[in-house]
Structures are given as C-alpha cells and as structure tokens.
Amino acid sequence: MTPPRRILTLVVVNDRFASLQAPDAASVREGVSRLIDNIRSVISIDHHKLEYLVAAQVAGGHVILADSHGVGKTSLARALAGSIRWQEQDLYAGGVPVERFKRIQSTVDLLPQDILGYNRFYGNGGEMVFNKGPIFAHFVLCDEINLLTPKTQGSFLEAMQEQAVTVENATYPLPDPFFIIATMNLKGVHLFPLPAPQLDRFMIQLSLGYPDPGHEAAIILQHGRDDAWDAFGPVVESRELLEWKQAVDQVEIHRDVIEYVVACLRATREHADITMGASPRAGIKISRLTRALALVRGEDFVTIDLTKEVLVACLAHRLVPRDPSIETAEIVEEIRDSVAVDRRHRV
C-alpha cells in the first residue's frame, strides 16, 4: 500500500518562515474531531453545521450566521477561538499586535475607523502612531452586521478578500489564520441589507436554529452555573490549523464534479425568478469548501453527493430574487435536484 503523500511547503506566518507539512486526511480528521468535541462540550450545536463552520475556516473562508437572538452565536465563536493553543509569534502580524478573539458589536453609528483602526499623533514630537482596530484578531465576531451603515459594512471588503487592511495609504497584513463570523438579524428596524458583492465574499450562510427540548434543558442546566466554562481549554495547536489549510489543495476534485458545479451556477443565472445569479467566485468558494469538508471528514477526494450537500449553504445567500418573498434556498434545492449528473462519476 502506498503511504499518504506529505507535501512540504514553505509559508510566511506572521512575518516569520515556518515549514509546514501538509498532513494526510486521517490525521486532519482526528484533529478536527478533537476540536469539534471540545466545542460541543460547552455549546449545543448540530454536528454537521459545526463541520461546515470548521471547514469554512480551514478553507480560508468566512461565515454568516443568520439567526435569532440568544442561540449561542457569540459562545460558538468564543469556543472556536478558545480551542486553539496560540503561540507568542501568532499574536503579531506585520509588527502589529493581534488578539486571539475579538467581538465587534455593530451599531448604526459605528465608523470604519472603529473597525480598522486609525492614526493619531503621539507625544510632543508629533509622531504618527497606528492604533489598531478590533479587526486585528485571528477570530472576529461581527455581531449584527446588518446594523452597520453601507460605508462601515464596506470596511470589511479588503479584509475578507486580501487578508489586509489599508488605513491612510498604509496597508497592514492581518494574521493567519484569519476568520470572520458575522451574525445577521432576520428582522428588526434600522437594518441595512448587505450588498450582493459583500454577501458574495462569505463562503457560507448558516442558521443554528433553536435546540430541541432535550438539548434546551441541558443548556439551561449547564449554563445556569458560573463554572460552566471552567473545564474548557485549548486542544489544537495553531500550527495544526495552518497545516490543515495547506492540506486542502491536496484533496482531489474531479473534472465532472466541477462541471456539475458550473451547471448549477449557470442555472441560477438563467432561472426566471432570479435577477442576479451566482458569480464565478461562488464556484471557487464551493470548490474550496467541498475539499475542506472532505478533508475534515477524513477523505482525500470530493464526491457529487458532498457537493450537493453544501449547495444551499454556499449559494442561497448570493442570489437576488425578483420577488423578495421568494426563498432562494428553495430555488437552489430545485436546481440541485434538476441538474443532471453523469452516474458513471457518482461516488
């Protein structure tokens, strides 16, 4: 039996070189299981949804949680960041100190500099000093992002696409890994819907939903105590996250799977109820997510069935319907089930 391939890659991490060895799929699955079990020790969440969230992070994407209040979105982000054992060198990016986890509470009066940072004069010599914003963190929770004005929402675009921010013509790199979880109100006043180009930059949109009665009772019993988090701690090294990210490129995605994805994308652009269909960027995000999700599950190839599994989470938030009352998720489901698949290549 041929041993699993291990690829040696030289990357820059926080202004330093590190040799990262891409692990095999079985090793990644073991590490991710450790991470997921640790998160679920303090958070009640569907196992598959947590797999999607971890896979999005491993794939280098960002996530929207569209949910009601009080279902554990902040605790989930805190548990994910707290499960990582960070090293001293992880806490700097381009000479700027960074945090492990930062929460941005969105309000209508928040300005771009409140998120990115700003320059100010320091001391009698008039030296210009950069004051970093909360975006300088490995894991960022932007709570209620659609309370931000369009100008402030736009301050996230460069960070999400380039993993850097520009303040007064100076560009600062953000740390690696860098992961944004944005929560979005489903109803309310003073909401500013995210524009299509910004939604397109989120890899997936999920909803945690309400727990069933049994899980809800367990949540109340566990978190009705002050010591609910006392036994919680890190279980994964920061280096492992970077190695998992390197391993995504080694997961095979067959040309027939890509052609199925392309057919689905084109179907969204031709659908009678859609005014703006999925962009080519959506296909890239699906490719990255499916390979990362296969890796998370211990596989080294992507199947058609796995691709179908994630289509709604990947595509529904990117589509603009002619009638706002139309559920785009239902349209994606219709497309998913109607696009033909060559059964010879179905695994």
pLDDT at position 60, please? 96
**Cα–Cα distance, 64 to 56 (Å, whole number):** 11
Residue 269's closest CA among 314, 332, 311, 326? 332
Q: Evaluate if residue 58 carries a pLDDT over 60.
A: yes
What the chain holds in terms of domains, given with CATH numbers, is: 24-216 (3.40.50.300), 251-347 (1.10.8.80)
Q: What is the mean pLDDT of residues 25-50?
A: 93
Q: Evaluate if residue 260 carries a pLDDT over 90.
A: yes
**Cα–Cα distance, 27 to 222 (Å, whole number):** 31
- Kind of pairing between the strands at 63-66 and 204-206: parallel
Residue 6's closest CA among 28, 26, 21, 25? 21
Q: Evaluate if residue 84 carries a pLDDT over 90.
A: yes
pTM of the model: 0.88
pLDDT at position 306, please? 97
pLDDT at position 19, please? 57
**Cα–Cα distance, 153 to 165 (Å, whole number):** 14
Q: Which residues contact 284 (CB under 8 A, 6 or more apart)?
A: none
pLDDT bucket at 68, cuts 50 / 70 / 90: confident
| 118 beta partners | 131
pLDDT at position 106, please? 94
Mean of the per-residue pLDDT values for the chain? 88
pLDDT bucket at 346, cuts 50 / 70 / 90: very low
Q: Evaluate if residue 1 carries a pLDDT over 50.
A: no
pLDDT in tens, 143-196: 999 999 999 999 999 999 999 999 988 999 999 999 999 998 877 667 899 999
pLDDT in tens, 281-336: 999 999 999 999 999 999 999 999 999 999 999 999 999 999 989 999 999 999 99
Q: Evaluate if residue 344 carries a pLDDT over 50.
A: no
Q: Evaluate if residue 71 carries a pLDDT over 80.
A: no
The DSSP letter of residue 146 is G
287 close to 330: Cβ distance less than 8 angstroms: no
117 close to 165: Cβ distance less than 8 angstroms: yes
Amino acid at residue number 330: E
